[in-house]
Amino acid sequence: GESVGLHLPTLSVQEGDNSIINCAYSNSASDYFIWYKQESGKGPQFIIDIRSNMDKRQGQRVTVLLNKTVKHLSLQIAATQPGDSAVYFCAEILTDKLIFGTGTRLQVFP
Amino acid sequence: KAGVTQTPRYLIKTRGQQVTLSCSPISGHRSVSWYQQTPGQGLQFLFEYFSETQRNKGNFPGRFSGRQFSNSRSEMNVSTLELGDSALYLCASSLGDRGGETQYFGPGTRLLVL
């Protein structure tokens, strides 16, 4: 069953296309950011992280970009696959607490 | 390594009852954090335990409490359950040495209060 909100912003992409999921964070003092993926009925799964002294970090098929000037974070997924369908959360570390954004639902169509 | 495990996976209670949820962290992780996830409020931080002590706390009423054992396993208790406590309760573990580290989540316990 559903484990996250019913009114999340949704990004629909075709299989094979690139996806870009955006996130605005709240505090300029945050120095560590994480992207999580949550599939229905499961807990959030770590995807990739980035420290505030970096502006880009690449993983396998994923890239995170950090723009501290406008407090913006993005997650790029290359060659999106059906298995990428999930809710994606950004999270910032602030005073040792993990603060989550509201999430974006990614739907991948064949 | 085994991941974070939570028991039970599903639970149905009635208003006024109490409930205890359990979390076993990844081996070697000493920090355990608890979150409540609901459709309306998203993921909200409840508290964090490290070395059997509560290190951080969110903005939840005193009905929500927790503890951590010497083996780093943690339990969360909710007393006098209310309908609004229906949620997915997630536990996450991290090494915990310096706080603010990557946390790894369990599958959650889905609580339904009738």
| CA gyration radius, chain B | 13
**pLDDT recorded at residue A102:** 85
Q: What percent of chain A has pLDDT over 90?
A: 72
The minimum CA-CA distance between B55 and chain A, rounded to whole Å, is: 9
| pLDDT at site A26 | 83
- Which pLDDT does position B65 carry in this prediction? 97
Q: What are phi and psi of A55, to 5 degrees?
A: -120, -5
The predicted pLDDT at position B98 comes to 67
Three-state secondary-structure class, residue B58: coil
Tell me: pLDDT of A1 over 80.
no
Segments of chain B with pLDDT less than 70: 1, 98-100
A46 touches chain B (CB under 8 A): yes
Average pLDDT over residues A68-76: 95
* Nearest CA-CA distance, residue B18 and chain A, Å: 22
Q: Report the pLDDT value the prediction gives residue B109, as an integer from 0 to 100.
A: 97
Do B4 and A97 lie within an 8 Å CB cutoff?
no
3-class secondary structure, A82: helix
What pLDDT does B34 receive?
A: 96
pLDDT band at A95 (very low <50, low <70, confident <90, very high): confident
The answer to whether the CB atoms of B43 and A89 lie below 8 A apart is yes
Residue A103 gets the label, from left (phi > 0), alpha (psi -120 to 50) or beta, of left
Cβ–Cβ < 8 Å for A102, A92: no
Q: Average pLDDT, whole number, for chain A?
A: 90
Place of tokens 């999106």: A80
pLDDT of amino acid A5: 44
Residue B71, min C-alpha distance to chain A (Å): 22
Give the separation between CA B11 and CA B67, rounded to whole angstroms: 20
- Work out the pLDDT band at A93, boundaries 50, 70, 90: confident
Q: How many CA atoms lie within 13 A of B27 on its CB side?
A: 2
pLDDT at res. B97: 72
Tokens of residue A76, six digits: 């790029």
Find, among A80, A82, A92, the residue nearest to A25 by Cα: A92
- pLDDT for residue A28: 87
Tell me the average pLDDT across A11-35: 93
> Who among B39, B43, B48 is closest to A100 (CB)?
B43
